[in-house]
Amino acid sequence: MVIAHIHVIDFDDENNIINKNVLLHQAGEIWHISASPADKGVLATCYNKTADGKVVTCAAVWRMPAELEPGGHESPEDAASPAHALELLCHLGPAAHGSTACVAWEPAGDGKRVISLADNHILLWDLQESSSQAVLASSASLEGKGQLKFTTGRWSPHHNCTQVATANDTAVRGWDTRTMSQIYCIESAHGQLVRDLDFNPNKQYYLASCGDDCRVKFWDTRNVTEPVKTLEEHSHWVWGVRYNHSHDQLVLTGSSDSRVILSNMVSISSEPFGHLVDDDDLSEQEERSQEPPQDSVIATYEEHEDSVYAVDWSSADPWLFASLSYDGRLVINRVPRALKYHILL
Amino acid sequence: MKNDFRKMEDEMDRLATNMAVITDFSARISATLQDRHERITKLAGVHALLRKLQFLFELPSRLTKCVELGAYGQAVRYQGRARAVLQQYQHLPSFRAIQDDCQVITARLAQQLRQRFREGGSGAPEQAECVELLLALGEPAEELCEEFLAHGRARLEEELRSLEAELGPSPPAPDVLEFTDRGGSGFVGGLCQVAAAYQELFAAQGPAGAEKLAAFARELGSRYFALVERRLAQEQGGSDNSLLVRALDRFHRRLRAPGALLAAAGLAEAATEIVERVARERLGQHLQGLQSAFLGCLTDVRQALAAPRVAGKEGPGLAELLANVASSTLGHIKASLASVHLFTAKEVSFSNKPYFRGEFCSQGVRESLIVGFIRSMCQTAQNFCESPGEKGGATPPALLLLLSRLCLDYETATISYILTLTDEQFLVQDQSPVTPVSTLCAEARETARRLLTHYVKLQGLVISQMLRKSVETRDWLGTLEPRNVRAVMKRVVEDTTAIDVQVGLLYEEGVRKAQSSDSSKRTFSVYSSSRQQGRYAPSYTPSAPMDTNLLSNIQKLFSERIDVFSPVEFNKVSVLTGIIKISLKTLLECVRLRTFGRFGLQQVQVDCHFLQLYLWRFVADEELVHLLLDEVVASAALRCPDPVPMEPSVVEVICERG
């Protein structure tokens, strides 16, 4: 019986101290994890269950023990204290739907709606009675030749949270959750499998995708024939792409070439020319540099020794980000100070 | 002596006396004859006057006779002589009568002259004579100018029309040499004659007259040039310039004469301009010809590559195809250079114009034609890298390999050879900037590098897809005990060997790190010794992961991190290393995503051992293959809930059998 561990890591950035708590997830090994935006003690996981010589990925919603919730108080004194177990709230559906690849929470909601992607189905769930029951609200399926399987999905924070993007093989599709119908489809978004998606938090129609063709592409969903921008900085599969939550010109990508790259995509961000200044405030410095902004790689982080599978930004501090690699190394980094002041001022 | 002197003195005295007497006598004779002298003078004067009067009275009849006889010159001379006198004595009625008669006759004379002039068929010198006479008669000069020019125009327009008729669609159009000959001799000759005659006749008219002539020449000249340009424009295609150059030469030469004569009309400059334009166009056509020839070569290569192999007959090898492409391209370039060189031959009249000496050679030939062609070649090659179909279905990889080798060869030798040849044949005499050889070579090298990189990516992708499918579609939990190596691994080895052979056809071997003596016998014991003990620990207590991770991290610190996509060098070993790195990394990532049963893990072990047995000889550093394959097996072991590795000896037996 495989018991997976969830490590809750507390990072105190004033003192640069890390505290770690371990939670037991007894259902099986975890392939995907996402936290509820409303309740910091609730999370959803996709885990493998081995039954009759077959492996099926199921999804469930869990609650952490209260004393271990992040952002709390003092942590247990040493790592040898007994690990606490997660409390199962509800399962997301019978496994008959297929293997669940990903669970996504509605971003601005009250933690009551989630989407799960199982094989070629999109399932929209309502969590009722403080998340102890999951009711299937609506669903959609992808029809077509061959075995279609969703690999990842993401909920768009715009349009009143009614849009979801999914990736299957090399295509990226957009869905409307009110009608569960497809809005747009980017065929052959990448030459090979699409690994991750992210929406631009400030610009409504902009989406980033990354895949096994070692590229990161930025799309305007109103015109899906051609990407707005393509990055080819990595030399192997790109596993994660993330926009910074407040400053969308900062884009983070992690790849199996063991590198994390922080890029400055100024030209397609919501503030290509920096802050808009009133005419009164214009000083000589503003007039000096009016050239079109240049996209560039800010930094390449090579602290990992093996493939980097996940990257993300902190929701507390917009200048902090973390990356996780195969060998279990979690690296927390900051945006270089010079760039931070440049963006702020 | 005194006597002699005395004698002389006497003689002198006598002489003096005689002289005085003679003087005296002479004076007396003059006085006597004075009277007669005066009368005779008067008579002579009257006689002359009478003769003049006689002439005047006879003038009308004489004039009439002259007009009848057609001796216009004489008539005009008479008229000229008498005119002033008649003018003065107009008031005398008899003179008046004569004058009137004369005027009538003169008018008739002028009319007849004009008539003769207009008829025109009488030929230029006679016309000139007419004009001269008319001028002498006091006709207004502008009118005469106009008429003269109009007359000349009529003739020249006829010439132009006949030239134009030749341009028409009715075949067979005579070749361009004949055309320019006709134009030259007919039109230009006529123009010269007219111009020369005009200048002679109307030289006295000063700048106004010259201006008229210049305008006349300019207008007709521009029409002539338009016709010539049309004819030249029809001269499309054909890589042989000799006829064209000769025609242009004749055309240009012919216009030297009127050019000198009519400097203000700018005929010679216009002619030079036309020649320059034609030359530029020819260069453009040559460039296009070279480009299409190159594309044609590439299409041939693609067909040859795609042609199904006839059993028993080897298709053309890559090296042969490369040699063909290279030699045919070089041949085309040389042919173009030779045919363009005709424009600058010594005998050609325009070859020492500043354009041809300078700009044509440097900008036209060297820059636009040669450098332009080489750049477009590089661009065409690079376009193969950006094929939209990522699956690589569009471009055969062999073509990429061939093009990259071609560009590399160009960079090392061919570019400098071609440019040296060009510089020798076309001595550059102006200061315009030219692209140095080094820039072009750098561009060619960059193109070669890109092509080779793309080739590695494509081939790596092919093998990766195979490996990926093999891992993703197999049921690893329920698999049985492995008895042999999986077929896909054998295919991978075969494909890698085939790629190795293909690349070896065009590229040198490259440098490999010296292999250790027992590399081919490297046994599985290395896998399971010190490195992996920790990893196979089945327990998953919280402490264990830390230990194994620590161990593996320490291991990783001491081994070099593998850069999956490092820049590819121009040798076979580097290319193969790149391809194998990509494929094995894919295998690693795919393995990490599945869950393996015990026998699944053992199958992976067997497969990896097999790969390691055969792939080490292709890469620069065999440690690389060992490292990657070790990682694969280690990751598979981590993904296995109950890892029990197979005995090394059994693994070897299976691999040897398979």
Residue A1 and residue A56 in one domain? yes
Can you say whether the dihedral through the CA atoms of B51, B52, B57, B63 is positive or negative? positive
The CATH number of whichever domain residue B485 belongs to comes to 1.20.58
Beta carbon pairs, A and B, within 8 Å: 56
pLDDT over threshold 70, residue B451: yes
Higher pLDDT, B258 or B19: B19
Maximum average pLDDT range among A46-55, B422-431, B505-514, B635-644: B635-644
Report the pLDDT value the prediction gives residue B521, as an integer from 0 to 100: 42
Rounded to two decimals, the pTM is 0.76
Which residues in chain B have their CB less than 8 angstroms from residue A46's CB?
A: none
pLDDT tier for residue B19 given thresholds of 50, 70 and 90: very high
The pair of structure tokens assigned to A175 is 């869905």
Residue B65 and residue B147 in one domain? no
Higher pLDDT, B629 or A55: B629
Higher pLDDT, A340 or A284: A340
Lowest mean pLDDT, pick from A10-14, A56-60, A164-168: A10-14
Over residues A227-243, mean pLDDT: 89
> Checking DSSP bridges between strand A17-25 and strand A308-313, what pairing results, if any?
unpaired
Tell if the CB–CB gap between B553 and A305 is shorter than 8 Å.
yes
Task: Indicate the residue of A236, A305, A327 with minimum beta-carbon distance to B564.
Answer: A236
pLDDT over threshold 50, residue B214: yes
Mean pLDDT of chain A, nearest integer = 81
Residue B111 and residue B147 in one domain? no
Over residues B353-371, mean pLDDT: 77
> Checking DSSP bridges between strand A308-313 and strand A320-325, what pairing results, if any?
antiparallel
Report the pLDDT value the prediction gives residue A199, as an integer from 0 to 100: 92
Selected for mutation to probe chain B from A21, A48, A99, A305 (highest B CB count within 10 Å) is A305
Residue A236 and residue A180 in one domain? yes
Contact status of A258 with chain B (Cβ, < 8 Å) = yes
> Checking DSSP bridges between strand A87-91 and strand A54-63, what pairing results, if any?
antiparallel
CA distance A131 to A112: 7
State percent of chain B over pLDDT 70.
83
Residue of chain B nearest A2, judged by CA positions: B641
DSSP three-state, residue B270? helix
Lowest mean pLDDT, pick from B9-18, B157-166, B407-416: B157-166
Report the pLDDT value the prediction gives residue B42, as an integer from 0 to 100: 93
Report the pLDDT value the prediction gives residue B525, as an integer from 0 to 100: 35
Which residues in chain B have their CB less than 8 angstroms from residue A236's CB?
A: 564-565, 585
Distance from CA of A235 to the nearest CA of B (A): 5
Lowest mean pLDDT, pick from A2-11, A43-52, B129-138: B129-138
The CATH number of whichever domain residue A33 belongs to comes to 2.130.10.10
Residue of chain B nearest A191, judged by CA positions: B390
Model pLDDT for residues A147-187, shown as the tens digit of each residue: 788 889 998 888 888 889 999 888 899 989 888 888 889 88
* DSSP output for B505-522: HHS-----PPPPTTGGG-
pLDDT over threshold 80, residue B106: no
Q: Which amino acid is at A101?
A: A
Report the pLDDT value the prediction gives residue A80, as an integer from 0 to 100: 47
pLDDT over threshold 90, residue B148: no
Contact status of A305 with chain B (Cβ, < 8 Å) = yes
Residue A53 and residue A121 in one domain? yes
Residue A175 and residue A303 in one domain? yes
Report the pLDDT value the prediction gives residue B364, as an integer from 0 to 100: 77
CA nearest neighbour of B430 among B502, B383, B494, B364: B364
Contact status of A22 with chain B (Cβ, < 8 Å) = yes
Residue B45 and residue B191 in one domain? no
Number of domains in chain A: 2
Residue B325 and residue B237 in one domain? no
Over residues A54-79, mean pLDDT: 68
Q: Which amino acid is at B87?
A: Q
pLDDT tier for residue B542 given thresholds of 50, 70 and 90: very low
Segments forming the whole domain that contains residue A27: 1-70+83-142
Residue B378 and residue B407 in one domain? yes
C-alpha to C-alpha distances, B564 to A291, A308, B579, nearest whole angstrom: 36, 14, 10
Report the pLDDT value the prediction gives residue A323, as an integer from 0 to 100: 92
Report the pLDDT value the prediction gives residue A93, as an integer from 0 to 100: 72
- HEC assignment per residue over A213-241: CCCEEEEECCECCCCCEEECCCCCCEEEE
CA nearest neighbour of A58 among A36, A90, A87: A90
State percent of chain B over pLDDT 90.
8
Report the pLDDT value the prediction gives residue B555, as an integer from 0 to 100: 62
pLDDT over threshold 90, residue B22: yes
Residue A297 and residue A318 in one domain? yes
pLDDT tier for residue B310 given thresholds of 50, 70 and 90: low
Contact status of A230 with chain B (Cβ, < 8 Å) = no
Residue of chain B nearest A308, judged by CA positions: B589
Tell if the CB–CB gap between A327 and B545 is shorter than 8 Å.
no
Lowest mean pLDDT, pick from A70-74, A116-120, A138-142, B637-641: A70-74
- Helices assigned H by DSSP within B410-524: 415-425, 437-472, 487-506
Whether B375 maps to a domain, the answer reads yes
Report the pLDDT value the prediction gives residue A146, as an integer from 0 to 100: 77
Reported residue count of chain B is 658
Tell if the CB–CB gap between A327 and B641 is shorter than 8 Å.
no
Distance from CA of B374 to the nearest CA of A (A): 28
Tell if the CB–CB gap between A327 and B561 is shorter than 8 Å.
no
Higher pLDDT, B551 or B93: B93
DSSP three-state, residue B314? coil
The pair of structure tokens assigned to B594 is 């599945």
Residue A35 and residue A155 in one domain? no
Q: Which amino acid is at A49?
A: K
Which residues in chain A have their CB less than 8 angstroms from residue B564's CB?
A: 235-236, 256-257
pLDDT over threshold 50, residue B532: no
pLDDT over threshold 50, residue B546: no
Model pLDDT for residues A110-156, shown as the tens digit of each residue: 778 888 888 888 888 888 877 777 888 888 888 877 778 888 999 88
Over residues B268-272, mean pLDDT: 80
Contact status of A327 with chain B (Cβ, < 8 Å) = yes
pLDDT over threshold 50, residue B322: yes
Report the pLDDT value the prediction gives residue A290, as an integer from 0 to 100: 53
Tell if the CB–CB gap between A236 and B585 is shorter than 8 Å.
yes
B465 alpha carbon, distance to own chain's centre: 48
C-alpha to C-alpha distances, A48 to A328, B581, B594, B600, nearest whole angstrom: 19, 30, 11, 17
CA nearest neighbour of A320 among A340, A305, A341: A340
Which residues in chain B have their CB less than 8 angstroms from residue A187's CB?
A: none
Whether A178 maps to a domain, the answer reads yes
Tell if the CB–CB gap between A257 and B597 is shorter than 8 Å.
no
Whether B470 maps to a domain, the answer reads yes
Residue B86 and residue B114 in one domain? yes
Q: Which residue has the tokens 């040499």?
A: B177
Burial of B512 (0-12, 13-18, 19+ CB in 10 A): middle
pLDDT over threshold 70, residue B515: no
Tell if the CB–CB gap between A3 and B540 is shorter than 8 Å.
yes
Residue A224 and residue A319 in one domain? yes
Model pLDDT for residues B242-263, shown as the tens digit of each residue: 777 777 777 777 777 777 777 6
Whether B442 maps to a domain, the answer reads no
The pair of structure tokens assigned to B67 is 């007009």
Number of domains in chain B: 4
pLDDT over threshold 70, residue B430: no
Buried b (16+ CB within 10 A) or exposed e, A50-82: beeeebbbbbbbbbbeeebbeeeeebbeeeeee
Whether B311 maps to a domain, the answer reads no
Burial of A9 (0-12, 13-18, 19+ CB in 10 A): middle
Tell if the CB–CB gap between A235 and B585 is shorter than 8 Å.
no
Residue A311 and residue A214 in one domain? yes
Cβ-proximal residues to B463 (8 Å cutoff; 6+ apart), any chain:
B492, B495, B496, B579, B582, B583
Segments forming the whole domain that contains residue B119: 11-133
Residue B488 and residue B347 in one domain? no
CA nearest neighbour of B452 among B411, B405, B413: B405
pLDDT over threshold 90, residue B13: yes
Task: Indicate the residue of A5, A53, A305 with minimum beta-carbon distance to B542.
Answer: A5
Task: Indicate the residue of B477, B561, B589 with minimum beta-carbon distance to A55.
Answer: B477
Lowest mean pLDDT, pick from B83-87, B504-508, B630-634: B83-87
The pair of structure tokens assigned to A211 is 């895949």
Distance from CA of A278 to the nearest CA of B (A): 45
pLDDT over threshold 80, residue B280: yes
Rg over alpha carbons for chain B, rounded to the nearest Å, is 52
Contact status of A3 with chain B (Cβ, < 8 Å) = yes
pLDDT over threshold 80, residue B358: no
Report the pLDDT value the prediction gives residue B122, as an integer from 0 to 100: 47
Mean pLDDT of chain B, nearest integer = 78
DSSP three-state, residue B592? coil
Maximum average pLDDT range among A307-311, B249-253, B434-438: A307-311
- The strand pairing partners of A333, in sequence order, are A321
Report the pLDDT value the prediction gives residue B105, as an integer from 0 to 100: 79
Distance from CA of B556 to the nearest CA of A (A): 7
CB B404 within 8 A of CB B384: no
Task: Indicate the residue of A53, A188, A326 with minimum beta-carbon distance to B478.
Answer: A53
Which residues in chain B have their CB less than 8 angstroms from residue A211's CB?
A: none
CA distance B616 to B557: 23
CA distance A243 to A252: 6
Report the pLDDT value the prediction gives residue B45, as an integer from 0 to 100: 93
The torsion angle over the Cα atoms of residues B244, B245, B246 and B247, rounded to 10 degrees, is 50
Residue A64 and residue A133 in one domain? yes
pLDDT tier for residue A90 given thresholds of 50, 70 and 90: confident
Model pLDDT for residues B374-397, shown as the tens digit of each residue: 888 888 888 887 755 444 456 788
Q: Which amino acid is at B285?
A: Q
Contact status of A110 with chain B (Cβ, < 8 Å) = no
Residue B78 and residue B175 in one domain? no
Whether A53 maps to a domain, the answer reads yes
Whether B401 maps to a domain, the answer reads yes
CA nearest neighbour of B112 among B139, B149, B81, B94: B139
